[in-house]
Amino acid sequence: MAFILFYDPCMLLTVKVFPGAPKTAFKRFANGILYISVAAAPQKGKANGELVRFLAEKLKVSANDIKIVSGGAGRLKRVKLPIPENILAERLCRT
């Protein structure tokens, strides 16, 4: 008899993006939403690409492992991150 354990350290994060900002930066975290200003235009996926690049850099994960699962064409997005919530909080506090 074999047992398979599934351990998924991923989490979904709600992010509100403000494209066209002078620089990409965290703004605040409130009511379960992470607010991020993005220094890219909201055209042809540029702002989404910058969001993923910024999160990957700040959270020290691969950009290929970050997925925008909903809200790709809007400002409010659900982003799947390859780290558990406690690690996310720790890394956000360091930035």
| Percent over 70 (pLDDT), the chain | 91
Between vectors from CA 74 to CA 83 and to CA 67, what angle results, nearest 5°? 25
DSSP 19: E
Q: Name the residue ranges covered by the structural domains of the chain.
A: 11-94
Q: Which CATH class is domain 11-94?
A: alpha beta
pLDDT per residue as tens digits for the range 50-80: 999 999 999 999 999 999 999 999 999 999 9
pTM of the model: 0.88
- If you count them, how many residues does the chain have? 95
Residue pair 82/91 in contact (Cβ under 8 Å)? The answer is no
